[in-house]
Amino acid sequence: MIDSPFQSFFMGGFECSTHRPRSGRRLDLIAATGHDTHAHADYARADAQGIRTVRDGIRWHLIERRANRYDFTSVLPMLRAARTAGVQVVWDLCHYGWPDDIDIFRPAFVERFARMVRAFAAVLAGETDTAPVVVPVNEISFFAWAGGDTRSINPFKRGRGNELKAQLIRAAIAAIEAIRDVIPDVRVASAEPLIHVINDPTRPHEGAAAEAYRLAQYQVWDMLCGREAPHLGGDMKYLDLVGVNYYPDNQWYFAGPTVARPRTIDRAHRDYRPFRQMLREVHDRYGRPVFIAETGCEDGGRAEWLRFVGREVRAAMRMGVPITGLCLYPILDYPGWNDDRHCHTGLWGYCDATGTRDVYQPLAREVRRQRQYVARLRSEAARDQSLLEAV
């Protein structure tokens, strides 16, 4: 049996982005979804669904409005609400956003982030009595691409993606060291997109380029564990829990750098790679526990997508991949980053003034079914282990 750091296999992720999209305005999705003022109700709702572990985030731009002055009033109510509800929180320490007075490319970014994380660790240690789980920097791969190559989000640069990625690796390592100084038994998760890319069958000459692009998805994890760019200070001790983010558009045909929107591979097509194989490849590469840190889709396909992912995850577990959890993300509907449109992605919708949220019943029913399937699989695994030990 897997020694899981999570209180429940099924998790819920609260969208907590705090970056600036193309418009330049600061996002705060915790506030925009009403989760800041209704955290206790949201955590209690999750617990009632059998979801006793959630992903959430701290908001650095609110914590450090002035350099090296920390105000944790934006996160303390959430810490206490989780404790009251008996829900475990996996805390994102940097979810695309940082204080406006810092140049992300300067050494001060790494230094200030580490100091803030150390201060938060002291607060966390005082508010919890179990080993916490944190994600130092969420989706470094996407962060570096969107902010350093495509100008989609802050810092709105082109041609500096590799530089930004290296800087975020430095920041993640510094944050891990800072929080471990205060809480030695903290568990650290690295959440990155899991993708599959192949050449278009009509363009066989692009096979090598497509494979190089696919393998680049491992660069962040390779940097963290020191296999690539060792001058950044990577080591296997920084790669603890491997979180994979997987969505319906995470497989596509390679289209080269000049195509803005590559063609997605349909799940029913023979070129679609089984998700179970992708999970096994990640585990074989790093030998670390794996969890699905984000998965979900929009509108009416939500329940069917969870059914598909759940089936693939159980198949991977039967192949011996140590999968410790599956996180529905986002678990609340939220306003779109660029246009504020109502994104129907959640198990629950927008809240009213009292914090009440409508539940999306098809997804709720599927969560209950998936919980039963996983419980049955774990029971079978425990029985088989007992029989092996008795021999």
Cα separation, 217 vs 195, in Å, equals 7
Cα separation, 327 vs 302, in Å, equals 13
For residue 391, pLDDT over 90 is answered with no
Q: Is residue 384 part of a domain?
A: yes
Q: Is residue 186 part of a domain?
A: yes
- What is the residue-wise DSSP string for 129-173? SS--EEESSTTHHHHHHHHHTS-SSTT--SS-HHHHHHHHHHHHH
pLDDT of residue 3: 81
Cα separation, 5 vs 8, in Å, equals 9
Please give the angle made by the CA atoms of 129, 43 and 93, to the nearest 5 degrees: 60
Q: Is residue 1 part of a domain?
A: no
Tokens representing 133 are 């789980």
Confidence of residue 255 (pLDDT cuts 50, 70, 90): confident
Q: Is residue 4 part of a domain?
A: no
Q: What is the pLDDT of residues 94-130, one digit of tens each?
A: 999 999 999 999 999 999 999 999 999 999 999 998 8
Place of tokens 């903290």: 186
pLDDT of residue 96: 97
Q: What is the pLDDT of residues 298-313, one digit of tens each?
A: 999 999 999 999 999 9
Confidence of residue 246 (pLDDT cuts 50, 70, 90): very high
Cα separation, 93 vs 120, in Å, equals 9
Tokens representing 171 are 């920041």
H-run or E-run covering 326: strand 323-328
Q: Please state, as a whole number, how many other Cβ atoms lie within 10 Å of the Cβ of residue 3.
A: 7
Q: Is residue 5 part of a domain?
A: no
Cα separation, 27 vs 59, in Å, equals 11
Say how many CA atoms lie within 13 Å of 33 toward its Cβ.
30
- What is the residue-wise DSSP string for 164-211? HHHHHHHHHHHHHHHHHHH-TT-EEEEEEE--EEEE-TT-GGGHHHHH
List of residues 6+ apart from 361 with CB closer than 8 A: none
Report the domain count for the chain. Answer: 1
Among residues 114, 139, 118, the alpha carbon closest in space to that of 19 is found at 139
Q: What is the pLDDT of residues 264-304, one digit of tens each?
A: 999 999 999 999 999 999 999 999 999 999 999 999 999 99
Place of tokens 């997508």: 305
Residue 25, class by beta-carbon neighbours within 10 Å (0-12 exposed, 13-18 middle, 19+ buried)? exposed
For residue 163, pLDDT over 80 is answered with yes
Find the radius of gyration of the CA atoms of the chain: 20
Residue 194, class by beta-carbon neighbours within 10 Å (0-12 exposed, 13-18 middle, 19+ buried)? buried
Cα separation, 147 vs 105, in Å, equals 12
Q: Quote the percentage of the chain above a pLDDT of 70.
A: 96
| Range from 78-82, 247-251, 386-390 carrying the lowest mean pLDDT | 386-390
Strands 323-328 and 10-13: parallel
Q: The domain spanning residue 34 has which CATH number?
A: 3.20.20.80
- What is the residue-wise DSSP string for 212-256? HHHHGGGHHHHHHTTSS-GGG---GGG--EEEEEE-TTSEEEE--
Q: Is residue 138 part of a domain?
A: yes
Q: Is residue 2 part of a domain?
A: no
**Per-chain mean pLDDT for the chain:** 95
Tokens representing 200 are 């278009």
Q: Please state, as a whole number, how many other Cβ atoms lie within 10 Å of the Cβ of residue 129.
A: 7
Question: Is-cis flag, bond preceding 330, omega within 30?
Answer: yes
Q: Is residue 6 part of a domain?
A: no
Cα separation, 237 vs 239, in Å, equals 6
Determine the structural domain holding residue 140 and report its residue range: 11-390
Cα separation, 189 vs 241, in Å, equals 4
Q: What is the pLDDT of residues 335-355, one digit of tens each?
A: 999 999 999 999 999 999 999
List of residues 6+ apart from 198 with CB closer than 8 A: 207, 210, 211, 214, 253, 254, 265, 271
Question: Is-cis flag, bond preceding 155, omega within 30?
Answer: yes
Q: What is the pLDDT of residues 368-389, one digit of tens each?
A: 999 999 999 988 877 766 655 5
For residue 183, pLDDT over 60 is answered with yes
Q: What is the pLDDT of residues 40-75, one digit of tens each?
A: 999 999 999 999 999 999 999 999 999 999 999 999
**How far, CA to CA in Å, does 266 sit from each of 210, 283, 303?**
17, 25, 18
